[in-house]
Structure 1
Amino acid sequence: MTVTLTLPARSGKSESYTMGAPLALPVSGTMKFNRIAYAAAHVVSDPLADNDPFLTPAIDWDRTISFREHLWDLGLGVAEAMDTAQRGMGLGWAEAQELISRALAAARSRDNALIACGAGTDHLQPGPDVTLDHILRAYEEQVGFVEGEGGRIILMASRALAQAAKGPDDYVRIYDRVLSQVREPVIIHWLGEMFDPALEGYWGAADHDEAMNTCLEVLAAHAAKIDGIKISLLSKDKEIAMRRRLPQGVRMYTGDDFNYPDLIAGDEHGYSDALLGIFDAIAPAASAALAALGNDDRQRFHNILAPTIALSRHIFAAPTRFYKTGVVFIAYLNGLQDHFTMVGGQEGARSTLHLAELFRLADKAGILLDPERAAQRMQRVLAVRGLA
């Protein structure tokens, strides 16, 4: 069945668009991967809650956990309470605690459900009076909570530390203290300023190469306590350079939503595992591609993922921090939630033209699994935005 709809164009006019056929992708099954792959999962809001959307998040817990079940069904791990879940960008620590508790409980009810949870300092408001001791105690509180719930840690970058640190030595001090206390190896998350401007200059240097040296110093000193590092700098070359310098046994988890296929496939010197926000949006394609790679079918791996790159680069286009809007929009188009309402009103963070182009690119990537449903939902959103 051919599906055609009208979409706005950059010319200021509308144009007819005919959708293509979706890829034949899995919805569940037993997948054999030779890479570790986490999808940073989003939260589903409750559109009927009696709350102030810009002040108080309201979470639809059933649909939020159901989405995590969807990821596990596809063989992907869940990176919980991360920036994709609007952590520190609409989702506070109180809500993050409940999210972590609920997700870990759901994981325990399944066999081999992979999950790791973000622990940071986002309940500590940055300011001139915040000291390194305050930051250390904030990290200890969140790490203690996640470990108390039986979870493994993704050690998130700290806005408070980025503001309070006087130089690289302060980062080394904080990470030394935290890593000396964790029970199990953690994933360290270096989130670049393109995702969160408040993290500019992390590791004590504006230059990423200098910052990398400090980070590697921490990794080398605590390799036994570190499973891996996820870097989100949107630079293939920087990730590869760092990957080749990692201590023995420390993994690189790519957070590069622009170049993930090549980084996961790897080269003669190694490869990256994955911890990606885009895997939330393209989970069936990611699962099928990783299964192909696990079967040593690199051509199919690239054939599946190559069309998703343009989509991902559009979703993560500057200002990159608004990428969550595109991720949730795809979940809505694919019927994984029944509305396009987000925590903090973030459904309004991208323009109508942006969403229209996202729709085209998602269709060309073959990830809109039911074209008729996706077209109907696209038309509803356009109608709300004045294009009935």
Structure 2
Amino acid sequence: MQRPSSGFEENWAESGFARQSIRQTVRVTGSGTAVRIRLSNRFGNRPLVVSAVSLALAGEGAAVRPGTVREVTFDGLTAVTVPVGGEVVTDAVELTVQRFDSLTVTLYFDSPTGPATFHAQAYAHSFRAAGDRTTDVEGDGFTEQTHSWYYLSDVELSGGEAQHGTVVAFGDSITDGFGSTVGANFRYPDRLAERLSAAGKPWAVINAGIGGNLVLHDSSWYGDRAVSRFERDVLDKPGVRSVIIFAGLNDIGFSEADLETYKPNPDVTVSELIAAYRGLIAQAHGRGIKVIGATILPFKGSEYHTPRAEAKRIALNEWIRVSGEYDAVADFDKALASHDDPEVLLPAYDCGDFKHPNDAGYRAMAAAVDLDSL
């Protein structure tokens, strides 16, 4: 979750909501017969009053599947107040959910929320409507939309087929899915979950990417630094068996471009990044979690590629490959680099900005992960 900001495109985080409903769709990578959701007010400036909540299987657009709408309660009550900096978990809702189903969560706020804790780059459709629309099936009243999620931090499934553990993809915008088709679930963690399913491995995959995230520094635009959010976004999730750590490009690149959104932008060294990775590895191993290190993709041609930045990327990737400190390596660099120039992202995998993959690139990333390493 992130602090309220204008983000990369229009969203509702800074203005918040009042006498409005927001409907958000999330595709799950597990299955179950009961659902709970977590709502976060981590970065709110006042207690968050949630007046009503519903859950359903998603239909087309803002519509939901008839007969699947469920009222959601909190200790038996239909409304809840989330304290500043806090979160709440709902009661379990009976609903049969299959792997790769899309769930719709509708929240209604009768009183002003103030700025909203949110996830800027969800690459999924969220909708807004006036009034309490939690029981609407058709969704016609939801006339506005963004690509962000608000307050919704987790969807938890229980019952049914055992999941046998969870894989967490931890990183920045490339893990988040920047450049992928909105609403299509073509991010690399989605593709990885599909590979696992096809291989008969019943493991859920959590996408813990935040666009622009830094390993070593907090950002008002891009969330808490990776080393501080690792515990809540990875270690504290139930049933985690492994984590793929894919981060560091922004720490390398931000210092090379003087843009307001790239602040803070200190000159981070490779040694500092390696020390941070070692800390994350130790924390994960202390919880019995396997750690897969992912190499940094080429980014020549982007706004923050320089010879100095490239030298850092090469050195960092070499350490990831040969240090032996990770349990395994996902060599995304090798899988997506141009054959003509290894400093360049292969054009067939480039979304157009020289550093983020497109849908085909994200598929290639997922294919580069050794499923047995998870």
Please state which band the TM-score falls in when normalised by the shorter chain.
0.3 to 0.5
Q: TM-score, normalised by structure 2?
A: 0.34
Q: Which has the higher contact order (CA 8 A, sep 6+)?
A: 1
Q: TM-score, normalised by structure 1?
A: 0.33
Q: Which has the higher helix share?
A: 1
